[in-house]
Amino acid sequence: MTYTDDLYNQNRTYESLSQEFKELYPMARRAFDLIPMMYDRLTLIDKMSHSDTITKIYQDHTDLEGFSRRNIYRFLPLGNPNVPRRVVPRRHKSNSIKYVLQSSQDNLSADTNYLQEGSSSYEELKQKNYELELALEESTKPVSAAKFTPFIKKYQVPKDKHDELSEAIKKSINFLILEFDNRDNLISAIADT
């Protein structure tokens, strides 16, 4: 954009800018709807690999100003088995959760364009997206220390078994075998020898 273009845009009214946007937006939206269709065609029908497909789409459209590989990745179809699934690492800041959720909603909205709203496939996809959002939120919550403490079980050794336990300890070389009843009371202590 040049200085004269900038001056021209400053003199335009909001209404004229809005009108131009309304005229151009459907064409721009349709252009991005074509990306998953091109990807599906090349991977599912023409049997190209994921990386070859991305390279082909990118190289065939490098002459378009502002077009990048990111445009392709943003609109990859969810239902295509050739799309590698990204593992998103856990983030410590809550605003990153919103970013991940928003990008998954963007991908969902791009992929649901060829599903009829209200159809069973659409509703299933919508439900899966909702479940994934809940799982993501749940997985990024802080975990209490109680979940990481070792489980400790206490056993009772009656006083009349102390001598038997001491004798088994003296005789043992590597280990003891301790037998307990269903109330966790010591029944017998046996040395390994």
pLDDT in tens, 18-27: 898 888 888 8
Which residues neighbour 89 within 8 Å (Cβ) at sequence distance 6 or greater? none
Helix, strand, coil shares of the chain, percent, nearest 5, are 60, 5, 35
Please state the domain count of the chain: 3
Among 84, 117, 134, give the residue marking a domain's end.
84
73 plus 124 within the same structural domain:
no
For residue 112, give its domain range.
86-144
Which residues neighbour 140 within 8 Å (Cβ) at sequence distance 6 or greater? 90, 91, 94, 97
Among 64, 84, 104, give the residue marking a domain's end.
84
80 plus 90 within the same structural domain:
no
Tokens coding 12: 């335009």
Q: What percent of the chain has pLDDT over 90?
A: 10
6 plus 65 within the same structural domain:
yes
Average pLDDT over residues 63-72: 88
pLDDT higher for 65 or 139?
A: 65
125 plus 62 within the same structural domain:
no
Please give the model's pTM, rounded to 2 decimal places: 0.40
DSSP class of residue 79? T
Domain assignment present for 151: no
What pLDDT sits at residue 53? 92
Domain assignment present for 185: yes
Domain assignment present for 149: no
Give the separation between CA 39 and CA 44, rounded to whole angstroms. Answer: 8
Instruction: Give the model confidence (pLDDT) of 27-57 as tens digits.
Output: 888 888 899 999 999 999 999 999 899 999 9
Cα–Cα distances in Å, from 84 out to 50, 110, 157?
8, 17, 58
